[in-house]
């Protein structure tokens, strides 16, 4: 046993290693003859080529089996997510802070909105058709060009006061800012069960513990609710934008939007506001997902 | 030792301040006790429990995992200060890693402690009592209270309580075998007989036993200062060497840690140069380490070893140190004791000579029949002498025990004769009662015979029968006639010659020969009332009638020859080391096969060729019998030469100290040496040996302490079954390790691909831990139950430098072949899950940054659908689960292929090892519970997976099986080929 426990000096180890790399007596390179290395490399080369081929074959047949128009399952997409524009994220989610008197603080927000709405100019929407029906736009056949389905037009002017056309600053300098609420696309999702889903924004009053803060928001007036203007009318998403048939079927589809304009925001107070989408089939009570069926954000307007 | 043996009684009294009649006073004794301490051996220093425990916490892979945990905490700290939401994940990961280390550490510690406890029970001795004279009174005291100067009385059967200078003896004999290894009892007297205190007769040593007689003596040494105490402390000086399996596991840990660290560092550099944040790169590093380290493996190895240890304990090998299980398997030389290990440790009648003919007696453990011819009237006469001229008696109350198991009062030869007679002629005690003894002269060393005179049991025969036994030549001298076929014939020179030949032949077999003769005393000269006087010997003791010879030997255990031949075919050299006479040693060696029938020693060749010993070519002799005296004068080179050149070696008349020299000699040859021993003096050799085997019955506590293993039945054959188990566990550990290492690649690849291709993370660190410490544990233990593929006792012991536990082939085959197939299978499942949920493979590449961005809650998939962060994360967990399930499914195939390394699975039998199936079911059961039972606990990152995804990897599992069958087929078909060399692990 003693022989195995001999401590080797560093130079001995180096020497051993050198011998391992190239042993001139046995002509072994790293423990093998060169020809042996060639064989083993060839074997592994062949092995990996075969394995890569197998993998490619599997992926190929996978691609052959999936439906190009819609995914096989929507296990995670039971209820649509909701997003807000402008979207500025802080440590704990969305937070929109700006100072009315300092236009540098809100110009970025306005630009975000303007950029976002460029996708909704009449020019950008020219491929889509005008829809007037207030029911689901069910298309069982491919009526559009190149085997596609038709999409309904949504142009920014539908957002009226928040369209950026009449007021390019979206009410930010007045302290009555516009926000755009967008619902995520889910293929073949029919929200509202026949009634158009609508956006509803309120202060967040989750518990009595927040009561003091709530009173602060409302300046002591408990009955003073959040005053909101919704565009289009009533803050609804018209049913003719649903269902969505997927990127391949509706390449020019664009999400319908709802703009909200807050009219009575208390200055210099951080407010927590939540905008929920009310409608059958849309849930907003998933404790893990703060963006499912609702969007919550902090708003602070300073002067 | 001092010169106490030379001093006279009065000088001794003076020196120790004691009195032979009164002893010490209690007060004085208490004083000395306070000065010298109790009369017991200090137990060897044990490692403190806390140190053992901490060792488990830092040994093996623990360090790597600690590093992982510390990195996790560091990144937690940094992320927390940056206010990131996900910071706590890292805190938990660190805690989990630390828990893993601590739990496996506790487990290993517990296993160790359990096996040590078995031994602890051994060392607890029953407190010994000693009869001491103190304050002029005889007192029973616990032996550890004895002090120097105490007067103690000893009688037959006692253990000597300290080193004692004898001042009064009566027929005292001691068994010094625990000290010198010599099993023959030695007589003790008050006389100073030898300069060397170890040889002189007037000193009795601590821990030896008094066999018969009584004695009184002065205690001259106590506790650690006794001869035995000094040897015991010598033994603890011999360092503990690492066991071969410990070296193998260390080698394996280095290998895996090396792979883990180099891949980790390599990818750390890659990820930094790919402009990942340092913090992210550190998290990748943790993932890579966790994926690479088989967390559960060391615990599995411990369990496998302790399972084998349990199995060995059932076969009478009690393993003290778990790792010794495997050491036994790699043993290449066994140095075995003779007495008790190879032999039955009891004298037994082996041969008889009467009517000019030698008969063999049955010497097996349970002599039920004696095959030799019992019809001759000479035998009747001989049996009568054997029965009557014998002082040994059975202890009463053992009528129901088999004769061979009964306890006898009397010395070894007389016991042998008594049992022999009891087996053949039946109730000896009754016969003796019917042939009333009227006079007796017990055996003594001057006249070398034993004689008794009996009435006969024939009521018509009023003659007295004189029976005598003793050293054959002495008996023959006293005879004038010899009995042939029941008739007395004159003892002429021809018949004396026949006697000589028989005597020589029996003696040459290493047997102890006794002669028997008798004489019917004429009725007229010796009437009923004749006053026999043994002092004046008023009866004839010459011109007797010689009846026959009986020879006795301590016969080999019946299982030993088979065990020795098994060792031989297993490439293990068996060396006999004994204190006995060379002739006896050689005879036993021949009869058990240590020296095979055809091989000759140098002396044998010399005798055959009729040339002087010096002229014999030493290389021609395969066997050698080396005398302890010769060994004493040998140089190390000469010893090496003998060990090297002869395959069959017997060392006779060796002292236990020489055993150490022999063991070291064997180790110089590069052998893994197992040594058996029972005496205290054997403990240095037991310690020095790679595996010390102590005798459970005959062994002293010191020997058991020094040994790694205890043979509960003292039987050599048990060692061989132990070797078999040890070899099996080595093979099975290979399989376990190969099984465990394979999936590490499937766990590692996700990280590498994640870093390089920026796909969503395929498997989480926690999930990996669930594989390593969940689904994989029971299957890898199940491989320990696998039966041997071929006769493992037909191959040579493993070369500890070449046959590594984890060799290059094993690592490469597991990592780069099966591991890769597994990874591909798992990735196919991963891509399938993502594709069917909306993310086609092409979309996934390069997606990582946005995918993980908390601020993107309308992330678009391949179909234009939009996902929130949580929806993506949930899908990612589904991917983890799918990846996990695929690895589990493929590990089932991996488990099945690992059942054999060479043979086809179908030859080994799919269902022979039931535990494997327990493993497979547990594996799938745990996976089902994790996926569907705990799928809603978000912290565990499992989701209830759609059932069809369980089957995506099945074709790959089948591929693994088929590929491995092909590998094994080629290995069997083309032994020694390139394929065999590269693919067989």
Find the mean pLDDT for residues B704-729.
Answer: 86
From the list B247, B841, B861, the residue facing A4 with the nearest CB is B247
Flag if B864 and A40 touch (Cβ within 8 Å). no
Q: Which two tokens stand for residue B528?
A: 């009923």
B892 touches B742 (CB < 8 A): no
Q: B122 falls in which pLDDT band (50, 70, 90)?
A: very low
Find the mean pLDDT for residues B321-334.
Answer: 85
Q: If phi over 0 gives left and psi between -120 and 50 gives alpha, with beta otherwise, what is residue A170?
A: left
Alpha-carbon distance values, A281 to A133, A236, B464, B838 (Å): 21, 15, 122, 21
What percentage of residues in chain B have a pLDDT greater than 90? 25
Q: Which two tokens stand for residue B884?
A: 């996990």
From the list A73, A186, A253, the residue facing B836 with the nearest CB is A73
Find the mean pLDDT for residues B109-121.
Answer: 66
Q: For residue B62, which of B115, B93, B108 has the smallest C-alpha distance?
A: B108
Does any CB of chain A come closer than 8 Å to the CB of residue B238? no
- The answer to whether residues A39 and A179 belong to one domain is no
Q: What is the pLDDT of residues A81-131, one digit of tens each?
A: 999 999 888 777 888 999 998 889 999 999 999 999 999 999 989 889 998
Residue B946: alpha-carbon gap to chain centroid: 53
Question: Beta strand pairing status for A93-99 and A294-302?
Answer: parallel
Q: Find which of A40, A49, A71 to mutate to test the B interface (most B CBs within 10 Å of its CB).
A: A71
Whether the ω angle into residue B302 lies within 30 degrees of 0, i.e. cis, is no
Q: Mean pLDDT for chain B?
A: 86
Q: Find which of B327, B858, B939, B958 to mutate to test the A interface (most A CBs within 10 Å of its CB).
A: B858
Find the mean pLDDT for residues B775-793.
Answer: 89
- The answer to whether residues A86 and A170 belong to one domain is yes
- The answer to whether residues A160 and A232 belong to one domain is yes
pLDDT for residue B423 is more than 50: yes
Find the mean pLDDT for residues B103-127.
Answer: 66
Residue A4: predicted pLDDT: 41
* Set of chain B residues whose Cβ sits within 8 Å of the Cβ of A288: 870, 874, 938
Find the mean pLDDT for residues B75-82.
Answer: 83
Distance from CA of A224 to the nearest CA of B (A): 32
Flag if A81 and B868 touch (Cβ within 8 Å). yes
Residue B659: predicted pLDDT: 85
From the list B801, B863, B878, the residue facing A71 with the nearest CB is B863
Spatial distance between the Cα atoms of B843 and A253, rounded to a whole number of angstroms? 20
Q: Within 13 Å and on the Cβ side, how many CA atoms surround B103? A: 9
Residue A162 sits in a domain whose CATH number is: 2.60.40.1660
- Count CB-CB contacts under 10 A for residue A38: 11
Q: B954 falls in which pLDDT band (50, 70, 90)?
A: very high
Whether the ω angle into residue A151 lies within 30 degrees of 0, i.e. cis, is no
Q: Which domain holds residue A44?
A: 12-59
Find the mean pLDDT for residues B706-722.
Answer: 85
Spatial distance between the Cα atoms of A181 and A179, rounded to a whole number of angstroms? 7
* Set of chain B residues whose Cβ sits within 8 Å of the Cβ of A286: 870
- The answer to whether residues A19 and A121 belong to one domain is no
pLDDT for residue A288 is more than 90: no
From the list A1, A182, A288, the residue facing B241 with the nearest CB is A1
**Does residue A77 fall inside a structural domain?**
no
B174 touches B180 (CB < 8 A): no
Residue B22: predicted pLDDT: 84
From the list B817, B828, B865, the residue facing A58 with the nearest CB is B828
* Distant-in-sequence, close-in-space partners of B243: CB < 8 Å, separation ≥ 6: B321, B323, B324, B326, B327, B690, B691, B708
- The answer to whether residues A112 and A54 belong to one domain is no
Q: What is the pLDDT of residues A158-195, one digit of tens each?
A: 998 898 888 899 999 988 999 999 999 999 999 888 89
Does any CB of chain A come closer than 8 Å to the CB of residue B874? yes
- The answer to whether residues A192 and A229 belong to one domain is yes
Q: Which two tokens stand for residue B293?
A: 């380290």
Distance from CA of B969 to the nearest CA of A (A): 17
For A45-54, letters b (16+ CB in 10 Å) and e give: eeeeeebeeb
Flag if B83 and A62 touch (Cβ within 8 Å). no
Element (H, E) at B649: strand B648-652
Q: What is the pLDDT of residues B885-913, one digit of tens each?
A: 999 999 999 999 999 999 999 988 888 89
- The answer to whether residues A155 and A22 belong to one domain is no
Sorted by where each starts, the structural domains of chain B and their CATH numbers stand as 9-27+127-237 (2.70.150.10), 242-311+724-983 (1.20.1110.10), 320-343+557-714 (3.40.50.1000), 348-358+373-523 (3.40.1110.10)
- The answer to whether residues A16 and A140 belong to one domain is no
* Distant-in-sequence, close-in-space partners of B529: CB < 8 Å, separation ≥ 6: none
DSSP secondary structure letters along A177-235: -EEEEEEPP-BT--GGGGS--EEEEEE---SGGGHHHHHHHTTT-TT-PPPEEEESGGG
Window 541-570 of B: residues touching A by CB (8 A cutoff) are none
* Distant-in-sequence, close-in-space partners of B727: CB < 8 Å, separation ≥ 6: B329, B330, B570, B788, B792, B793, B797, B798
Residue B183: predicted pLDDT: 59
Q: What is the pLDDT of residues B178-190, one digit of tens each?
A: 676 565 678 888 8
Q: B284 falls in which pLDDT band (50, 70, 90)?
A: confident
Asked whether the whole model's pTM tops 0.90, one would answer no
Q: Find which of A31, A65, A81 to mutate to test the B interface (most B CBs within 10 Å of its CB).
A: A81
Whether the ω angle into residue A243 lies within 30 degrees of 0, i.e. cis, is yes
Cα-Cα-Cα-Cα dihedral of A160, A162, A167, A173, to 10°?
150
- The answer to whether residues A130 and A16 belong to one domain is no
Residue B25: predicted pLDDT: 87
Lowest mean pLDDT among A171-185, A195-209, B8-22: A195-209
- The answer to whether residues A25 and A131 belong to one domain is no
**Does residue A116 fall inside a structural domain?**
yes
Residue B892: predicted pLDDT: 96
Does any CB of chain A come closer than 8 Å to the CB of residue B964? no
* Set of chain A residues whose Cβ sits within 8 Å of the Cβ of B667: 1-2
B722 touches B334 (CB < 8 A): no
* Set of chain B residues whose Cβ sits within 8 Å of the Cβ of A4: 242, 247, 800-801
Residue A2: predicted pLDDT: 33
Q: From the candidates B4, B144, B163, B337, give the one annotated as an active-site residue.
A: B337
Find the mean pLDDT for residues B159-175.
Answer: 84
B624 touches B648 (CB < 8 A): yes
- The answer to whether residues A120 and A247 belong to one domain is yes
Distance from CA of A93 to the nearest CA of B (A): 8
Distance from CA of A221 to the nearest CA of B (A): 34
- The answer to whether residues A104 and A49 belong to one domain is no
Q: B6 falls in which pLDDT band (50, 70, 90)?
A: confident
* Set of chain A residues whose Cβ sits within 8 Å of the Cβ of B878: 75-76
Does any CB of chain A come closer than 8 Å to the CB of residue B813? no
Residue B116: predicted pLDDT: 63
From the list A51, A87, A248, the residue facing B855 with the nearest CB is A87
Number of domains in chain A: 2
For the four alpha carbons of B773, B775, B776 and B782, in that order, the dihedral sign comes to positive
* Set of chain A residues whose Cβ sits within 8 Å of the Cβ of B832: 62
DSSP secondary structure letters along B473-502: HHHHHTEEEEEETTEEEE--HHHHHHHHHH
**Does residue A51 fall inside a structural domain?**
yes
DSSP, collapsed to helix, strand or coil, labels residue B435 as coil
**Does residue A290 fall inside a structural domain?**
yes
From the list B827, B874, B978, the residue facing A76 with the nearest CB is B874
* Set of chain B residues whose Cβ sits within 8 Å of the Cβ of A83: 857-858
Which range, B19-23, B390-394, B664-668, B918-922, is most confident? B918-922
pLDDT for residue B239 is more than 60: no
Find the mean pLDDT for residues B555-567.
Answer: 89
Find the mean pLDDT for residues B536-553.
Answer: 89
Q: Find which of A1, A68, A181 to mutate to test the B interface (most B CBs within 10 Å of its CB).
A: A1
Q: Within 13 Å and on the Cβ side, how many CA atoms surround B438? A: 20
Q: Where are the beta strands (DSSP E) in B62-148?
A: 129-134, 137-142
Specify the length of chain B in residues.
985
Residue A230: predicted pLDDT: 94
Alpha-carbon radius of gyration of chain A: 31
* Set of chain A residues whose Cβ sits within 8 Å of the Cβ of B801: 4
B337 is catalytic: yes
């Amino acid at each position: 046993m003693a022989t195995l426990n001999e401590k080797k000096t560093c130079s001995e180890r180096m020497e051993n290693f050198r011998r391992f790399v190239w042993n001139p007596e046995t002509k072994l390179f790293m423990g093998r003859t060169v020809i042996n290395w060639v064989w083993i490399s060839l074997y592994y080369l062949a092995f990996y080529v075969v394995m890569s081929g197998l993998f490619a074959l599997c992926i190929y047949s996978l691609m052959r089996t999936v439906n190009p128009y819609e995914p096989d399952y929507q296990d995670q997409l039971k209820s649509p997510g909701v997003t807000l524009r402008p979207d500025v994220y802080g440590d704990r989610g969305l937070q929109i802070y700006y100072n009315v008197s300092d236009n540098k603080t809100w110009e970025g927000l306005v630009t975000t909105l303007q950029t976002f709405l460029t996708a909704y100019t009449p020019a950008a929407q020219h491929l889509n058709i005008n829809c007037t029906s207030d029911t689901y736009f069910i298309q069982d056949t491919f009526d559009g060009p190149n085997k596609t389905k038709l999409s309904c037009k949504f142009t920014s002017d539908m957002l009226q006061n928040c369209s950026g056309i009449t007021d390019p600053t979206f009410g930010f300098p007045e302290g009555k800012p516009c926000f755009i609420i967008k619902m995520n696309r889910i293929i073949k999702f029919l929200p509202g069960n026949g009634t158009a889903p609508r956006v509803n924004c309120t202060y967040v009053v989750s518990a009595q513990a927040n009561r003091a803060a709530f009173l602060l928001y409302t300046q002591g007036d408990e009955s003073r609710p959040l005053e909101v203007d919704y565009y289009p009318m009533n803050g609804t998403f018209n049913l003719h934008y649903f269902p969505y048939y997927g990127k391949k079927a509706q390449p020019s589809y664009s999400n319908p939007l709802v703009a909200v304009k807050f009219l009575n925001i208390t200055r210099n107070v951080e407010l927590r506001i939540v905008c929920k989408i009310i409608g059958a089939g849309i849930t907003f009570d998933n404790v893990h997902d703060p963006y499912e069926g609702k969007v919550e954000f902090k708003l602070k307007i300073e002067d | 030792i001092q010169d106490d043996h030379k001093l006279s009684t009065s000088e001794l009294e003076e020196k120790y301040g004691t009195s032979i009649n009164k002893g010490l006073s209690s007060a004085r004794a208490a004083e000395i006790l306070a000065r010298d301490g109790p009369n017991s051996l200090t137990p060897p220093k044990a490692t403190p429990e806390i140190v053992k425990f901490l060792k488990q916490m830092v040994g093996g892979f623990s360090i790597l995992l600690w590093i992982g945990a510390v990195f996790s905490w560091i990144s937690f700290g940094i992320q927390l200060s940056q206010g990131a939401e996900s910071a706590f994940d890292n805190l938990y990961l660190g805690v989990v890693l630390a828990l893993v280390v601590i739990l496996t550490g506790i487990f290993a510690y517990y296993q160790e402690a359990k096996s040590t406890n078995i031994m602890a029970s051994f060392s607890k001795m029953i407190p010994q009592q000693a009869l001491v004279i103190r304050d002029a009174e005889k007192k029973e005291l616990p032996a550890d209270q004895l002090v120097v100067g105490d007067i103690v009385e000893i009688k037959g059967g006692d253990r000597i309580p300290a080193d004692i200078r004898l001042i009064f003896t009566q027929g005292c004999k001691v068994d010094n075998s625990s000290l010198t290894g010599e099993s023959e009892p030695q007589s003790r007297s008050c006389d100073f007989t030898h300069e060397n205190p170890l040889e002189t007769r007037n000193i009795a040593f601590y821990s030896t036993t008094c066999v018969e007689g009584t004695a009184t003596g002065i205690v001259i040494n106590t506790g650690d200062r006794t001869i035995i105490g000094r040897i015991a402390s010598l033994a603890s000086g011999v360092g503990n060497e690492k066991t071969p399996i410990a070296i193998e596991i260390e080698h394996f840990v280095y290998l895996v840690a090396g792979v883990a660290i180099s891949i980790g560092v390599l990818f750390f550099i890659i990820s930094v140069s790919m402009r990942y944040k340092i913090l992210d790169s550190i998290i990748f590093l943790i993932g890579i380490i966790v994926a690479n380290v088989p967390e559960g493996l060391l615990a599995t190895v411990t369990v496998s070893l302790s399972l084998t240890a349990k199995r060995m304990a059932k076969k009478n090998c009690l393993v003290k140190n778990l790792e010794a299980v495997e050491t036994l398997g790699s043993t290449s030389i066994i140095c075995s004791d003779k007495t008790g290990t190879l032999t039955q440790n009891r004298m037994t009648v082996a041969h008889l000579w009467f009517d000019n003919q030698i008969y063999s007696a049955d010497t097996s453990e349970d002599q039920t029949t004696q095959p030799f011819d019992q019809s001759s009237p000479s035998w009747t006469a001989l049996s009568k002498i054997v029965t009557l001229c014998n002082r040994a008696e059975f202890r009463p109350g053992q009528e129901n025990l088999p004769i061979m198991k009964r306890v006898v009062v009397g010395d070894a030869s007389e016991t042998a004769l008594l049992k022999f007679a009891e087996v053949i002629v039946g109730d000896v005690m009754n016969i003796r009662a019917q042939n009333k003894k009227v006079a007796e002269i017990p055996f003594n060393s001057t006249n070398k015979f034993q004689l008794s005179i009996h009435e006969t049991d024939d009521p018509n025969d009023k003659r007295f029968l004189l029976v005598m036994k003793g050293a054959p030549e002495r008996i023959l001298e006293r005879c004038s006639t010899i009995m042939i076929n029941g008739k007395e014939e004159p003892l002429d020179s021809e018949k004396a010659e026949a006697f000589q030949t028989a005597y020589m032949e029996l003696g040459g077999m290493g047997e102890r020969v006794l002669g028997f003769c008798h004489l019917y005393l004429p009725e007229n000269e010796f009437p009923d009332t004749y006053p026999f006087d043994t002092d004046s010997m008023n009866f004839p003791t010459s011109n007797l009638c010689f009846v026959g010879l009986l020879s006795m030997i301590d016969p080999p255990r019946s299982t030993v020859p088979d065990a020795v031949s098994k060792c031989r075919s297993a490439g293990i050299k068996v060396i006999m080391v004994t204190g006995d006479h060379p002739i006896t040693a050689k005879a036993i060696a021949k009869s058990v096969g240590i020296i095979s029938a055809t091989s000759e020693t140098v002396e044998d060749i010399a005798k055959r060729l009729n040339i002087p010993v010096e002229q014999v070519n030493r290389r021609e002799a395969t066997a050698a019998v080396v005398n302890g005296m010769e060994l004493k004068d040998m140089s190390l080179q000469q010893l090496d030469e003998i060990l090297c050149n002869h395959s069959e070696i017997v060392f006779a008349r060796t002292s236990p100290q020489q055993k150490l020299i022999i063991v070291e000699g064997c180790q110089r040859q590069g052998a893994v040496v197992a040594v058996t021993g029972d005496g205290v003096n054997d403990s240095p050799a037991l310690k020095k040996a790679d595996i010390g085997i102590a005798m459970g019955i005959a062994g002293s506590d010191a020997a058991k302490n020094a040994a790694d293993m205890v043979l509960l039945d003292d039987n050599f054959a048990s060692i061989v079954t132990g070797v078999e188990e040890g070899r099996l566990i080595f093979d099975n550990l290979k399989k376990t390790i190969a099984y465990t290492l394979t999936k590490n690649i499937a766990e590692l690849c996700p990280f590498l691909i994640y870093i390089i291709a920026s796909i969503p993370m395929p498997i989480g660190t926690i999930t990996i831990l669930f594989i390593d410490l969940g689904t994989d544990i029971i299957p890898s233990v199940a491989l320990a139950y696998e039966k041997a593929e071929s006769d493992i006792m037909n191959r040579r012991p493993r070369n500890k430098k070449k046959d590594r536990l984890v060799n290059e082939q094993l690592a490469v085959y597991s990592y780069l072949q099966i591991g890769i197939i597994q990874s591909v299978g798992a990735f196919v499942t991963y891509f399938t899950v993502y594709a069917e949920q909306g993310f086609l493979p092409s979309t996934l590449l390069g997606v990582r940054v946005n995918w993980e961005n908390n601020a993107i809650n309308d992330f678009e998939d391949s179909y234009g659908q939009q996902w929130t962060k949580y929806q993506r994360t949930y899908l990612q967990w589904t991917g983890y689960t799918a990846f996990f399930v695929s690895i589990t499914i493929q590990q089932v195939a991996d488990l099945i292929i690992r059942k054999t390394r060479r043979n086809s699975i179908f030859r080994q039998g799919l269902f022979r090892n039931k535990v494997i199936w327990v493993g497979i079911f547990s594996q799938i059961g745990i996976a089902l519970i994790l996926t569907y039972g705990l799928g809603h606990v978000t912290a565990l990152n499992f989701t209830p997976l759609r059932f069809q995804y369980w089957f995506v990897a099945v074709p790959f599992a089948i591929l693994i099986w088929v590929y491995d069958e092909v590998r094994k087929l080629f290995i069997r078909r083309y032994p020694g080929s390139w394929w065999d060399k590269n693919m067989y692990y």
